[in-house]
Amino acid sequence: MTIVCPITNTNNRFPLHIPLDNRTQTTGVIMCEHIKALDLNARPHRVVERLPEDLLRKVIDVVFAEIEVNP
């Protein structure tokens, strides 16, 4: 299983959206609130490009903050 977040070109400045910048060919914002799990062995896929490390870290931080459980 692989965890992914969709990307949209509709930027409504939602706090859980991480904007892509000029380092990527893909445009838009990453919707961290729409976490999806995909089985890459069960469906066709292709890697379009890699996310810069600092943007990936922001996405991971937002996703972890969403699912963090405080006892």
What average pLDDT score do residues 29-50 get? 95
Is the pLDDT assigned to residue 30 strictly greater than 70?
yes
Confidence grade of residue 70 (pLDDT, cut at 50, 70, 90)? low
How many Å apart are CA 67 and CA 50, to the nearest integer? Answer: 24
Is the pLDDT assigned to residue 39 strictly greater than 70?
yes
Q: Does an H or E element contain 19, and which?
A: strand 17-19
Closest among 46, 51, 53 to 29, alpha carbons compared: 51
Is the pLDDT assigned to residue 16 strictly greater than 90?
yes
What average pLDDT score do residues 19-34 get? 97
Where do the structural domains in the chain lie, given as residue ranges? Answer: 2-67
Domain 2-67 has CATH 3.90.190.20: no
